[in-house]
Amino acid sequence: MNDYIYPNQTILIPKNNYSYYITAEGDTIGEVVKAFNTNIDKFLNENKTIYLMAGQLLVNKK
């Protein structure tokens, strides 16, 4: 991953009490739930549409 900022690039700045995760190829729901330190039922209830495609942004309210 590059640590550069380019012109016209969108930069994500997390809000307080939210965390985010950008999926990578091969991720599983279990890995994402562990990254958010939450339980699977709560996570699936709050994220109705999860495809786990590479580059998908998932947001979790803490």
Cβ burial 2-37 (10 Å sphere, 16+ → b, else e): eeeeeeeeeeeeeeeeeeebebeeebeeeebbeebe
Has this prediction a pTM greater than 0.85? Answer: no
CATH label, 18-61, candidates 3.10.350.10, 3.40.50.720, 3.40.50.1820, 3.40.190.10: 3.10.350.10
pLDDT of residue 2: 62
Chunked into runs of 10 residues, the chain (62 residues) has average pLDDT values of 78 77 86 88 80 75 72
Residue ranges of the domains in the chain? 18-61
